[in-house]
Amino acid sequence: MTSTDSVVSVRNLHKRYGSFTALDDVSFDIHRGETFALLGPNGAGKSTTIEILEGYRDRTGGEASVLGVDPGKGGLEWKARLGIVLQSTGESGNVTVREQLTHFAGLYPRPRDVDEVIAAVGLQDKQKTLIRKLSGGQRRRVDVALGIIGRPELLFLDEPTTGFDPEARRQFWQLIDGLKQDGTTILLTTHYLDEAAQLGDRAGVIAGGKLIDIGGIDEIGGAEARVPIVRWRENGRVHDVRTPEPGLEVAKIVARVGEPESLEIIRPSLEDIYLRLVAEHSTLGNADLLEDAS
């Protein structure tokens, strides 16, 4: 359940490396209890944004607040309120799942119960197994367990299901849904757009260091981007019609030609909309470069 209380607030965020601008005037909020998906191609600025919010990287300009604290000044007490699941970890595999979690639980002032966390990530049968002997998907569950053992108010999930098979991904989604039900605020980055659609409440799209769109998962791209397409084959040719009333269009086709061949109604997915947004931004960026060069 989300609220209007902002757990993360970013205003006019900038990050430069010499003459290169990694982030350019980025602003957004993440509300308590929501899952916010930060989307964008490689090199767009997602990782830089996340690292600034986690307190690992300094910003060049703008303002940032995470749990009411400037992340550039957050101390140990503030860090204990965060959970961070990186793309990969360097944790030793020569301890068991239970030993690792017990050790990490001792680092936090108000940790979750170790048994509760092991059950939450579905590793009851593997709790006495050395981490190095686990499968990739099971190790990823350990990563998540380490991220939530401290009972974080805000959980960062960076590409959490990379390398998962379809079944493991869906099991992981159930785990994250359980955390959402507990009120955990989640900032998710992922290249799987179906994952963002499944888990996210809202999304922001970054391209070229700029936030090019933000809104509810069902709002990104605007109404025009979500207009369905009616597609059918007639006289050996494929026809496409974009229409907000696909049922009416199908009725017209049937009245004219009878039962059409290969008829389908295609409703744009989040992935379709995302790819269009990024492509349009790339086209505009290239046009700016040409104008600057002229």
Residues 6+ apart with CB under 8 A from 146: 85, 89, 91, 100, 101, 104
Q: Tens digit of pLDDT for each residue in 227-269?
A: 999 999 988 899 999 998 999 999 999 998 888 888 999 988 8
Given this model, what pLDDT does residue 293 score? 39
Q: Is the pLDDT of residue 91 over 70?
A: no
d(CA 269, CA 230): 15
Q: Is the pLDDT of residue 121 over 80?
A: yes
Starting at the earlier edge strand, list the strands of the sheet with 202-207: 82-85, 154-158, 185-189, 35-39, 202-207, 210-216
Q: Tens digit of pLDDT for each residue in 194-230?
A: 999 999 999 999 999 999 999 999 899 888 888 999 9
The residue among 78, 72, 86 whose CA lies nearest residue 189 is 86
The model carries a pTM of 0.82
Sorted by where each begins, the domain ranges of the chain are 222-293
Q: Is the pLDDT of residue 83 over 50?
A: yes
Given this model, what pLDDT does residue 169 score? 82
Q: Is the pLDDT of residue 179 over 50?
A: yes
Given this model, what pLDDT does residue 286 score? 47
Residue-level length of the chain: 294
